[in-house]
Every structure is written in structure tokens, then in C-alpha cells.
Amino acid sequence: MVLDAGATNARVTLERGKGDMVALLNGEIDRLYQAASSALYLYIFAEGRYGSFSTNLMDDKTLRQFTADAVRATLLMTPDEFRTLPDREICYKGTGPDLQQFDPSIDTRPPSRGVVIAQEVSAEMLSDKRVISAESEYGDYTEERFIADSMGFEGYQRKSGFSVSANCSVSGKGDEKPERNWYEDEVFFKNLRYKGCGTKALERAIESIGPVKLTSGSYNMIVDSTIVSTLVIPIIDALKGGSLHTRNSFLADKLGVKVFGENVSLKDMPHTRGNSFSRLFDIEGIATKERNIISGGTICNFFIDNYYSRKLSLDVTIGTPSVVMMPKNALLSNNKLSLPDIFKRADRGIYVTQFNGGNCNAATGDFSYGIEGFLFHDGKIVHPVNEMLVSGNLITLWNNLMAAADDQMESRKWQLPSLCFSNVNFNGL
């Protein structure tokens, strides 16, 4: 229809999904919903111009009128010679592995299962009299995406997901009401670790009672695996074509340059089986493949999609990574270091379990984040801390990486372990 309306080329994406969620507050159902969605996205290339449009109206007559109007609107755009479909040679050919992202049992799940699980999680939190509020939530979903373009590409992906979360606030000292959460998610229901989720949230809240504000200074810092991606995402963003094009990147001109310490390595692993973030192709149809992001501290790849490839005269890689891992090496996970092992190695410092606001300057790599966590000494936690800022520069920070635990969460996009850095600046009293 798009081509009939006068477009030169087109890509069309159809997405469909459905999901269920139940949330409990203090053991009673608070929210319950079932949702379904369907959307059609048109990416239109016409006479050197480009436009994107979406609709959820799928009948033939409406679609034909919609596409005709979309093409006419595209022809009013300013020409952009860099907007084209990617070359067919770099697109997915339909020969990739089964990524094992769909659990057939989701279609036969009992409607009451989510309520029962949320109740179990809630009961774990409500077992303690100090609890003020206990929120638990269970959800599951299925999602499908089909992409086709006028150059002959076709690609289909289907996946499922199951999640459970707990959020708990408790009575502390005086007026304080520390609140903490925990969540688990998996592609396959049998792998969902929902038992103990509420207990984990409760324990984290109780451990946070009575925080102390420390004096400013330089401390060793351990960052928990659940939040360490905060220190990696700015690096990935700085490697993207958009940041390079606007010169808003502290890693511009660093391709092939050793920027970080020898023990810093990251990989994009898009074909990781059983992970919902894995993919055989991206939203343009470009085939994914395993690639080094950083190896031995050296920048190995930029993230360049088809558009920025043409604008920057660089080869296409991929616009954004899929599953980011820290490869195992002698300093890191080959030693099978547990989190307690990392505490012993660091001896004294601050264990950061939560970032509260703050930012990272994309152009310089300078960062400043509010933190909550714990002071540890002789490898053991002493007391909680809060109302502190951690600041510095990402290049300096990652050159001070001391060690890593072996506790990455394999269901996540950011499969990163708890990390320990030396000589980090904290601002407190």
C-alpha cells in the first residue's frame, strides 16, 4: 500500500502483545488488570525524504487511506539523503539460532496463579511487625514483532516474560521509614524465583534502619550488581552514533584506544539463549552478532546504525547493544569471588546499594550521584549510610576497578556483577 501510494521504499513493523498483572497492598488486592495491544508502524522513504507513522486501525480501507496520507505527509518533509533502508547484505537472513524466549505454558496458566504468588510474597513481608506497608506484584506477558521491508527483509520475534516484585517500608528510629524493594524476572515461569522475594525486600528495609552520614573523603566503593549498570550506561551512550555526531561524547575519537584499565572488558552477546533482551536482528532488520565493546580497556566498537553510518562515514555495527556482559578473566569471575570475598578484598569502604538522582556529563564523563548503602570495615558491614554524594570521572573510576564478584543476574540486559573500585570521592559531612 505504501509503495502504491508513491513511496520509494518502506519498512513496516507489526507489534502485538498481551499481559496480566495483579498488585497487592498489605495482603489485599489493590490493582488487577489485563491488557492487549496492537500497533502498526510505517517507516516511509519517498524522494529522498523520510517519515514515520503508526496506527492501530487495521482494516483494509482505513489502512489504504492512512498509508496514502502518510506518503503525502512524508513528501512535505525536508530531504535527508542519509535516510535509507540498510543494505540487504547486512540484514538478517533467517538462519539464526533459537533464542528460547517463549514459554508455551503461559497460554495455559491458571488465572489465579498471579494472585497466589503475590499473596505469598506479601505474606513474607507482613511476617514482621515493623512493616508499615507491603506491596507485592506479579505480572506476565507475551509479545510478538514482525518486520518487513521493500528490499525483501522479513523477521519475526516472539517472547514471553514473568516477573514478581516486592516493596516494603518499615518503622525505623524516630520518624524514619526506610523503604526497599526487590524483583525477579524470567522468560520461563519455572525459573522465576518468587519465593523469598518479599523476604529480600524486608531484609533490605530492616538493614537500612538508622543510617549515618559519613565525613567526606576517599573510600573504596563496592557497587551492588542490581544497580551497577548506572556506571555502564553512560559509557554505552557515549559510544552511540548520535552522541558521536553531536560531539557530545567523552569517548569520541577513542576507537582502538586504551582508555580504561586492563581488567575492564564488556561484550555484547545478542544471542544469549533464554534472555528476553536477546535478538537476531534490530529494529532495522540488521543482523546482530557477538562483539567486543571494550577489551582489556581498549574501545573496540562504536554503536552505529544505518543512519549514522552514512552521516559519519563509518561501517554499520548496530544502533544499541542487546545483552551486555562482563567477560570472565583472571581478576574477575574466574576466581569465583562472592560478594563477601569482595568485601574482604576491599577491607574498608562504602557498599552502594542505591543511587538517588544525579547525572553524568556525556561530554566529559564527570558524574555525581546521590547514594545510599553501608559502611564496611574489616570486610564486614558496620552500619547504613545515606545523604552522601559520590562523584568523579568515569575514566578515572574504571581505571580504579579492583575486583568483581560472581553474582551477575542472568535474566537481565546488564549482566554485570558487583564491582569494587578504589579511591572514590564521597561528599558527606
Distance CA 429, CA 425 (A): 13
pLDDT at 336: 73
pLDDT at 330: 43
pLDDT at 327: 82
> In which order are the strands placed within the sheet that holds 131-149?
49-55, 28-46, 9-25, 131-149, 154-170, 179-186
pTM of the model: 0.93
Which domains, ranges and CATH numbers included, belong to the chain? Answer: 9-207 (3.30.2290.10), 217-427 (no CATH)
Distance CA 67, CA 58 (A): 11
Task: Output the tens digit of pLDDT for each of the chain's 429 residues.
Answer: 999 999 999 999 999 999 999 999 999 999 999 999 999 999 999 999 999 999 999 999 999 999 999 999 999 999 999 999 999 999 999 988 999 999 999 988 887 899 999 999 999 999 999 999 999 999 999 999 999 999 999 999 999 999 999 999 999 988 899 999 999 999 999 999 999 999 999 999 999 999 998 999 999 999 999 999 999 999 999 999 999 999 999 999 999 999 999 999 999 999 999 999 999 999 999 999 999 999 999 999 999 999 999 999 999 999 999 999 998 654 444 467 889 999 999 999 999 999 998 999 999 999 999 999 999 999 999 999 999 999 999 999 999 999 999 899 989 999 999 999 999 999 986
pLDDT at 308: 97
Contact 345, 222 (CB under 8 A): no
pLDDT at 333: 46
47-66 exposure pattern, b = at least 16 Cβ within 10 A, e = fewer: eebbbebeeeeeeeeebeeb
Cα dihedral 118, 124, 129, 134 sign: negative
Distance CA 6, CA 321 (A): 34
pLDDT at 41: 98
Instruction: Compute, in degrees rounded to 10, the torsion defined by CA atoms 247, 237, 400, 229.
Output: 160
